[in-house]
C-alpha cells in the first residue's frame, strides 16, 4: 500500500503536503512516491519534496522520472540528484506530452523516446529499483490493449521490477491487463492505482488525467446524488472501497492511492477496507 504526492508550488502547498503526510503516516504505507515535472524548477521541486517526505516518514520514498522535454544528460542529472538525496527507487515514465495524454508524443531532440529506454538508462546509472506504468483502460495514444501488454513485457526485459497502473474504476479491466501480460510470460507485480471521486467536477477531469472516461455505472451513482456534495463524497468513497476489495480479493499485490496531497478520503477508504474481514 502506497501514497502518491506531488511537489508543492508554494508555502501554502508545502503546508498542505506536510499535513497530508502527517495524517497518513500512521496508516503505515510501504512506500510513498513523488510525481515529477520537467526541467528547471519543477524538477528541483520534485527533488526537494522527495527529501522533505523522506525526512517525515518511515516509509520507503520513490521518485518519479519522465522523458518529457529532457535530454539524456538532463535525465542522468536527475537520476544523480535522486541518488544524492538517498532515493534508490524510481518510477520511470515516458510522461504525457504538454498537450495532455491524448496529444501526439514529441521526443526531445537529445532525449529518449519511451519508458523502456528510460528504464535502461536508470538501471545503467546505478543500483536502482525501477517501476513503470501500466494501463488497465489502454494507453490513450494508441488504445491497443495487446500493444500495451507487449510494451509492459519489454519494460520488464529492460530491468523494471514492478508496475503501478494509471487510475481506473473497473476491476475487470485490471484483471484483463494482468491476464494479457502473464500470457506473454511477464511476471511484474502490478500495483493498482486508486483515486477516489470526491466531487462532481472530477468526473470530467478524470478523462484528462487518464485519457479514459469513467465507467457509466460509476457516473450514474455519482450523478444520482449530484445536488448533495456530502453524498457525492460518500458515494465516491464507497466506490473506491468496493474496487479495492475486489482487486485484493482477485490477487492484486497492492494499492497505490493518488492522494492529491490530501489525506481524508484515502484514510477513510483504508479504514473501511480494513473493517472487511480479509483485509484486517
Cα gap 166→62, rounded to integer Å: 17
Q: Which of 4, 117, 156, 268 is catalytic?
A: 4
Instruction: Count Cβ atoms below 10 Å from residue 271 Cβ, excluding itself.
Output: 12
Instruction: Count Cβ atoms below 10 Å from residue 99 Cβ, excluding itself.
Output: 10
Give bridge partners of residue 233 from the DSSP assignment. Answer: none
Provide the grid cell at 70.
Answer: 529532457
Residue indicated by cell numbers 545503467: 124
CA distances from 82 to 3, 46, 70, 197, 252 (A): 19, 10, 16, 32, 29
Per the CB < 8 A criterion, the answer to whether 199 and 234 are in contact is no
Provide the grid cell at 96.
Answer: 504525457
Active site residue 4: yes
Per the CB < 8 A criterion, the answer to whether 204 and 131 are in contact is no
Cα gap 211→30, rounded to integer Å: 28
Q: How many degrees, rounded to 5, is the angle at CA 63 between CA 206 and CA 272? A: 55
Cα gap 2→135, rounded to integer Å: 18
Cα gap 172→136, rounded to integer Å: 9
How many residues are there in the chain?
280
Handedness of CA 259, 137, 207, 39 (dihedral sign): positive
Give the residue numbers marked as catalytic.
Answer: 4
Amino acid at each position: 500500500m502506497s501514497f502518491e504526492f506531488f511537489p508543492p508550488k508554494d508555502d501554502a502547498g508545502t503546508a498542505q503536503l506536510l499535513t497530508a503526510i502527517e495524517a497518513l503516516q500512521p496508516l503505515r504505507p510501504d512506500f510513498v512516491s513523488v510525481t515529477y515535472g520537467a526541467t528547471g524548477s519543477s524538477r528541483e521541486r520534485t527533488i526537494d519534496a522527495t527529501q522533505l517526505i523522506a525526512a517525515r516518514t518511515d516509509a520507503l520514498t520513490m521518485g518519479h522520472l519522465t522523458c518529457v522535454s529532457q535530454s539524456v544528460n538532463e535525465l542522468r542529472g536527475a537520476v544523480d540528484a535522486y541518488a544524492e538525496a538517498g532515493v534508490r527507487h524510481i518510477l520511470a515514465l515516458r510522461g504525457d506530452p504538454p498537450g495532455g495524454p491524448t496529444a501526439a508524443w514529441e521526443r526531445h531532440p537529445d532525449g529518449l523516446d519511451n519508458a523502456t529506454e528510460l528504464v535502461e538508462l536508470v538501471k545503467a546509472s546505478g543500483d536502482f529499483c525501477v517501476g513503470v506504468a501500466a494501463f488497465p483502460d489502454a494507453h490513450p495514444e494508441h488504445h491497443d490493449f495487446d500493444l500495451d501488454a507487449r510494451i509492459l513485457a519489454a519494460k520488464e526485459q529492460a530491468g523494471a521490477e514492478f508496475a503501478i497502473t494509471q487510475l481506473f474504476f473497473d476491476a475487470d479491466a485490471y484483471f484483463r491487463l494482468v491476464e494479457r501480460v502473464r500470457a506473454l510470460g511477464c511476471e511484474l507485480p502490478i500495483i493498482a492505482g486508486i483515486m477516489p471521486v470526491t466531487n462532481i467536477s472530477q468526473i470530467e477531469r478524470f478523462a484528462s488525467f487518464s485519457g479514459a472516461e469513467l465507467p457509466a455505472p460509476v457516473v450514474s451513482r455519482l450523478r444520482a446524488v449530484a445536488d448533495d456534495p456530502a453524498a457525492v463524497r460518500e458515494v465516491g468513497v464507497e466506490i473506491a472501497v468496493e474496487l479495492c476489495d475486489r482487486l485484493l480479493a482477485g490477487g492484486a499485490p497492492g494499492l497505490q492511492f493518488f492522494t492529491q496531497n490530501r489525506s481524508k478520503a484515502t484514510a477513510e477508504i483504508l479504514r473501511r477496507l480494513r473493517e472487511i474481514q480479509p483485509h484486517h
